[in-house]
């Protein structure tokens, strides 16, 4: 934790030296000259788990715990392949998973293969709610 506060928002303006892309390039080093010289790649422009956790700190300081939690969960998803995210999204749509076990299995994949325990817990919670509401048997 960097002890970020609401006053640090937006981070891109108040702390551009601390925002870094996947390769470690600082946001304030991404200039037109650097782009034209070929020194900037897409990896330098992608969001990182650290940047999302920083945003979570600001949200928590602003009294927005749900937003902060969403940023923390998003930080876990950065390393998850897009096709896994989309398949999980589809599975979470009401009536798509036919059994509770399908969601439990997906939670295990996210927890153990992608180190995403908060997302796994979110899916476990969904499985409980879906079972209680009979969502596994009804397709919209």
Banded pLDDT at 138 (limits 50, 70, 90): low
Q: What is the pLDDT of residues 19-47, one digit of tens each?
A: 899 999 999 899 999 999 999 999 999 99
Following DSSP, what letter does each residue of the chain receive, concatenated? -----GGG-SHHHH-TTT-B-TT--BGGG--HHHHHTT---GGGTS--HHHHHHHHHHHHHTT-HHHHHHHHHHHHHTTS-HHHHHHHHHHHSTTT--SHHHHHHHHHIIIIIS--HHHHHHHHHHHHHHHHHTGGG---
Q: What is the pLDDT of residues 52-90, one digit of tens each?
A: 999 999 999 999 999 999 999 999 999 999 999 999 999
Whole-prediction pTM: 0.83
Domains and CATH numbers, the chain: 1-77 (no CATH), 79-140 (1.10.1510.20)
């Amino acid at each position: 934790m960097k002890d970020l506060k609401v006053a640090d928002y937006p981070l891109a303006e108040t702390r551009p030296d601390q925002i870094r892309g996947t390769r470690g390039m600082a946001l304030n080093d991404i200039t037109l000259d650097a782009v034209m010289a070929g020194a900037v790649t897409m990896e330098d422009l992608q969001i990182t788990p650290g940047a999302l956790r920083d945003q979570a700190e600001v949200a928590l300081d602003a009294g927005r715990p749900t937003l902060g939690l969403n940023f923390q969960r998003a930080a876990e998803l950065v390393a998850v392949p897009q096709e896994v995210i989309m398949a999980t999204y589809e599975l979470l749509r009401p009536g798509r998973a036919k059994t509770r076990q399908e969601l439990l299995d997906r939670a295990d994949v996210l927890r153990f293969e992608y180190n995403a325990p908060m997302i796994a817990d979110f899916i476990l919670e969904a499985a409980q709610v879906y079972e209680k509401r009979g969502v596994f048997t009804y397709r919209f």
